[in-house]
């Protein structure tokens, strides 16, 4: 098992901090978001950790991790960053966004997932957007479930049917060795042939990871929700930092 932390983005809504540092280096308490993730990964036995950098990559100097830079971070998106680390997609892997903070038990639940492609999701999510005026609920990355099966994963899903449930994607993915092969094969195929829009994005180069997951679902592969329990926060604005400090306890 290895870990990949995706940390190439600029994080414009966290200026002025991100004028001088990558988004994942912002601190809630005495450690940055990325330091906290690294510590949790280590405590779960994940010691092979790669950070995909981009914006102000030279500022990241955490010990005992590997670095791969997305040289095109300013013109691509998070999906492209993942495949900059394609050599790490050779065995089971845990993938994490860099701008989130979570309890160890969420990772424990993901590690217990035995399928090939699992995405962390939470059911009770809407209340966390109360007062989050700078990143409202319509910007949430959602997962639409029907009888426990993922139909759709994208931002701002609404209007579910009685037999459907909308959950929130938490920016955490577990892939088995087979799951890694599925990702690599699909991405290679798309790079050779795809043109134009890609699901919710203007192009494959500008795709979100949720776009890639939707492509894999539409191709017929099984992507499973891992409904987790535990504290989790996304840090996208300065307001998020203040809100998280009110209720998040490490």
pLDDT tens-digit map of 139-167: 999 999 999 999 999 999 999 999 999 99
Domain range summary for the chain, segments of one domain joined by +:
2-247
Write the CA distances from 250 to 33, 48, 62, 209, integer angstroms: 12, 23, 20, 27
Among 31, 170, 28, 39, which residue's Cα sits nearest to residue 95?
A: 170
Q: How many C-beta atoms surround the C-beta of residue 148 within 10 A?
A: 9
Euclidean distance between CA atoms 136 and 49, whole angstroms: 32
Q: Class for domain 2-247, per CATH?
A: alpha beta
Are the beta carbons of 209 and 200 closer than 8 angstroms? no
Tokens read off for 64 = 């005992």
Dihedral pair phi/psi, residue 182, rounded to 5° = -60, -45
Tens-digit pLDDT string for the chain (250 aa)? 999 999 999 999 999 999 999 999 999 888 999 999 999 999 999 999 999 999 999 999 999 999 999 999 999 999 999 999 999 999 999 999 999 999 999 999 999 999 999 999 999 999 999 889 999 999 999 999 999 999 999 999 999 999 999 999 999 999 999 999 999 999 999 999 999 999 999 999 999 999 999 999 999 999 999 999 999 999 999 999 988 887 776 5
Among 110, 5, 100, 92, which residue's Cα sits nearest to residue 49?
A: 5
Dihedral pair phi/psi, residue 120, rounded to 5° = -70, 135
Name 145's bridge partners.
150, 165
Among 95, 123, 100, 121, which residue's Cα sits nearest to residue 109?
A: 121
Among 171, 219, 169, which residue's Cα sits nearest to residue 194?
A: 219
Where do the DSSP E strands lie in the chain? 2-7, 48-53, 66-69, 93-97, 100-102, 117-122, 141-146, 149-155, 164-175, 224-227, 232-234
Euclidean distance between CA atoms 150 and 142, whole angstroms: 10
Among 67, 64, 41, which residue's Cα sits nearest to residue 54?
A: 67
């Amino acid at each position: 098992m290895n870990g990949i932390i995706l940390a190439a983005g600029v994080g414009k809504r966290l200026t002025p901090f991100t004028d001088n540092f990558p988004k994942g280096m912002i601190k809630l308490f005495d450690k940055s978001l990325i330091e906290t993730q690294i510590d949790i990964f280590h405590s779960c036995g994940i010691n092979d950790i790669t950070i995909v950098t981009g914006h102000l990559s030279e500022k990241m100097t955490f010990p005992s991790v590997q670095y791969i830079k997305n040289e095109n971070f300013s013109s691509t998106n998070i999906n492209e960053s993942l495949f900059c680390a394609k050599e790490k997609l050779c065995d089971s892997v845990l993938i994490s966004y860099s701008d989130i903070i979570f309890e160890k038990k969420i990772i424990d639940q993901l590690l217990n997932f035995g399928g090939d492609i699992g995405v962390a999701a939470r059911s009770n999510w809407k209340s966390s957007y109360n007062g989050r005026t700078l990143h409202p609920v319509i910007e949430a990355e959602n997962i639409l479930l029907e009888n426990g099966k993922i139909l759709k994963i994208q931002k701002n899903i609404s209007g579910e049917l009685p037999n459907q449930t909308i959950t929130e994607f938490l920016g955490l993915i577990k892939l088995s060795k087979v799951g890694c092969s599925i990702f690599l094969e699909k991405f290679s195929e798309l790079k050779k042939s795809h043109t134009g829009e890609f699901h919710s994005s203007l192009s494959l180069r500008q795709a979100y990871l949720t776009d890639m997951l939707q492509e894999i679902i539409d191709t017929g592969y099984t992507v499973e929700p891992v409904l987790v329990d535990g504290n989790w926060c996304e840090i996208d604005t300065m307001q998020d930092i203040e809100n998280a400090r009110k209720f998040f306890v490490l």
